[in-house]
Amino acid sequence: MNTFLILLTLSISILLHLAQCHIIDEHTNIDLVELELDQTVLKQKQSRFRVYWHDIQSGNHPSSMPIVKPVTKMGFGQVNMMDNPLTLGPKLSSKAVGKAQGFYGMASQEEVGLLMAMNFFFITGKYNGSSITILGRNAVFDHMREMPVIGGSGLFRWARGYVQARTHDLDLKSGDATVEYTIYVMHY
Ligand SMILES: *[C@@H]1O[C@H](CO)[C@@H](O)[C@H](O)[C@H]1NC(C)=O
């Protein structure tokens, strides 16, 4: 009788163990499926571009406008959404090469220090449809500001790099600004 009970307990525990294994197997089945990669060796390129970024806050067709109100007198907390023209030369009327789409927020309580998150979306030549993503800190009144390029799409896949921003024109009354952006980017 005792032997029978021991055997019964043993077989039950073995069955339970098998059931558990089955559950685990089910889980591994829904794991990520690794896709085959094109193993062509790609050559990394380094490119440098210069564009002018226009933050137009005045007039009937602003390209940049506040979407969140500031919480302090100094402006801390304000957020602007932008669809800013990018041009080849400093004049707004010069050749349009793309748009800077995204937002910037007043992230410093001591100075005008922005957090910028934007995509430079290009519309010209072979770069048409490609974009780079910039995320960084912009102390607007510094002569030169540097922000990281954290990624890209299209011809800028795998992009890494940085931009240097220099104010070309700033109208303190209207807030309108033209900023020269030099983009240094590694991509494939
Ligand atoms: C850019 O691409 C869009 C959509 O594919 C197309 O309509 C447009 O004509 C292209 N522009 C240039 C300058 O190639």
Co-location of 97 and 13 in the same domain = no
Co-location of 106 and 163 in the same domain = yes
Co-location of 98 and 151 in the same domain = yes
Q: Which pLDDT value is given to residue 58?
A: 97
| Atom 2 in ligand 1: residue holding the nearest Cα | 128
| Atom 10 in ligand 1: residue holding the nearest Cα | 128
Co-location of 105 and 161 in the same domain = yes
Comparing CA positions, the residue from 138, 137, 148 lying closest to residue 170 is: 138
Kindly state if the Cβ of 109 falls inside 6 Å of ligand 1.
no
Co-location of 27 and 91 in the same domain = no
Kindly state if the Cβ of 128 falls inside 6 Å of ligand 1.
yes
Average pLDDT per consecutive 10 residues, the chain (188 residues; last block may be shorter): 70 63 55 74 90 97 97 95 98 98 97 97 97 98 97 96 98 96 96
Domain range enclosing 71: 45-187
Co-location of 54 and 19 in the same domain = no
Co-location of 89 and 167 in the same domain = yes
Q: Which pLDDT value is given to residue 181?
A: 98
Co-location of 146 and 176 in the same domain = yes
Kindly state if the Cβ of 129 falls inside 6 Å of ligand 1.
yes
Co-location of 76 and 136 in the same domain = yes
Q: Which pLDDT value is given to residue 37?
A: 74
State the DSSP string of 95-122.
PEEEEEEEEEEE--SSS-EEEEEEEEEE
Co-location of 10 and 59 in the same domain = no
What is the domain-level CATH number for residue 169? 2.40.480.10
Co-location of 143 and 97 in the same domain = yes
Q: Which pLDDT value is given to residue 35?
A: 78
Ligand 1 centre distance from Cα of residue 20 (Å): 56
Comparing CA positions, the residue from 45, 77, 80, 24 lying closest to residue 184 is: 45
Co-location of 87 and 31 in the same domain = no
> How many domains, the chain?
2
Ligand 1 atom closest to the CA of 128, numbered from 1: 1
